[in-house]
């Protein structure tokens, strides 16, 4: 989930799910950027320095250099409970820099990176990896290749493995191969997290039973419904609840705001939270509703229209006042 799990949204999800969320992951941070700017402002943008409300936390790092990864891991280690080498990002920017899932075909380098990470954080922090299924002409070939990689990572020092049940070519779309994840889980002696396509608490329970994994990782489903795991899940579909969640997210951005903290994910989150309550079919009924739907659709894709600053708390507050009045108790 590119940048969607930033600090304000993590806090929102933790608060709304009343303990059901046991562990959060940060967005994927480039090691080069972490090392270029390890200022107090940068750290406060990503971490709660004076509170443990956002713990336990795994920080995802991206690098193809063992030395760079080790240095960045040491920088973030005081603020988290584990550091994750991201080997699962299939996006174009990861391809351009040869990071994330584009390292999967270099198992020797992957193992070297994990060894460097383990040396950097020691035994006090979890050494994590996030991977996709490796490509193969058949499901069996994908399973065999992915199991071999998982064993290699575990032998190199990985202590927690998250497996997304799609290949790099699928780019987070299409069917999820939970059977392959079950094979990985059975092949290694470390906890495995199942990831991919999980859309509800009941679905998570079913997938956990199917795969035998230690926990389920939910990502994009939280964008539209950050209260996904709470007991009264039906309220997550309520427009009034979604509006209140959007207000709460903006309130958190205000609460955490600082001179070096432009909350660039405001458009993405507001778009996802509100767009689902304007169905495209309904949106075509009037020009006004069509305009709202298209506006929110652009926000959810990270493409804010002209005049809406991607970092603007004022613009966000105005949008919410006009579109999503706060419920009065």
Residue 19 labeled ligand binder = no
* Angle, alpha carbons 225-228-233 (nearest 5°): 105
Residue with tokens 């939280």: 222
Q: Is 53 helix (H, G, I), strand (E, B) or coil?
A: coil
Residue with tokens 């490796």: 134
Residue 164 labeled ligand binder = yes
Report yes or no: 241 and 235 within 8 Å, Cβ to Cβ.
yes
Catalytic one among 31, 89, 158, 230?
89
Catalytic (active site) residue 89: yes
Q: Is 132 helix (H, G, I), strand (E, B) or coil?
A: strand
Backbone angles phi, psi at 302, to 5 degrees: 75, 25
d(CA 118, CA 153): 11
Rama region for 311: left / alpha / beta (φ>0; ψ in -120 to 50; rest): alpha
Q: And the tokens for 106?
A: 């270099």
Residue 171 labeled ligand binder = no
d(CA 10, CA 14): 6
List Cβ neighbours of 196 (8 Å cut-off, separation of 6 or more): 164, 165, 166, 172, 176, 178
Residue 170 labeled ligand binder = no
Residue 196 labeled ligand binder = yes
Residue 3 labeled ligand binder = no
d(CA 87, CA 109): 11
Catalytic residues: 89
From the annotation, which residues make up the binding site for FMN? 60, 130, 164, 195-197
């Amino acid at each position: 989930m590119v940048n969607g799990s930033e600090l304000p949204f993590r806090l929102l999800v933790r608060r709304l799910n009343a303990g059901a969320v046991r562990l959060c992951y940060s967005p994927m941070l480039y090691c080069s950027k972490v090392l270029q700017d390890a200022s107090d402002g940068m750290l406060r943008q990503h971490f709660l320095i004076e509170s443990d409300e956002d713990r336990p936390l795994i920080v995802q790092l991206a690098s193809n250099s063992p030395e760079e990864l080790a240095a960045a891991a040491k920088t973030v280690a005081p603020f988290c409970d584990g550091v994750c080498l991201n080997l699962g990002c299939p996006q174009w920017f990861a391809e351009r820099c040869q990071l994330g899932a584009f390292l999967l075909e270099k198992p020797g380098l992957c193992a070297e990176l994990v060894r460097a990470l383990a040396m950097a954080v020691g035994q006090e922090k979890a050494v994590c990896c996030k991977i996709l299924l490796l490509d193969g002409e058949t499901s069996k070939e994908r399973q065999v290749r992915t199991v071999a990689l998982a064993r290699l990572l575990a032998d190199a020092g990985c202590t927690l493995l998250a497996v997304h049940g799609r290949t790099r070519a699928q780019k987070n779309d299409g069917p999820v191969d939970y059977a392959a994840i079950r094979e990985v889980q059975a092949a290694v002696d470390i906890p495995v997290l199942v990831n991919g396509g999980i859309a509800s608490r009941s679905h998570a329970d079913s997938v956990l039973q199917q795969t035998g994994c230690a926990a389920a990782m939910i990502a994009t489903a939280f964008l539209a419904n950050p209260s996904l795991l709470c007991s009264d899940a039906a309220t997550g579909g309520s427009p009034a609840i979604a509006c209140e969640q959007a207000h709460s997210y903006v309130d958190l951005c205000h609460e955490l705001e600082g001179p070096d903290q432009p909350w660039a994910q405001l458009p993405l989150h507001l778009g996802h939270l509100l767009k689902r309550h304007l169905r495209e079919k309904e949106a075509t009924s009037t020009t006004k509703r069509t305009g709202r739907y298209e506006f929110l659709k652009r926000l959810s894709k990270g493409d804010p229209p002209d005049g809406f600053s991607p970092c603007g708390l004022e613009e966000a507050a105005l949008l919410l006042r006009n579109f999503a009045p706060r419920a009065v108790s």
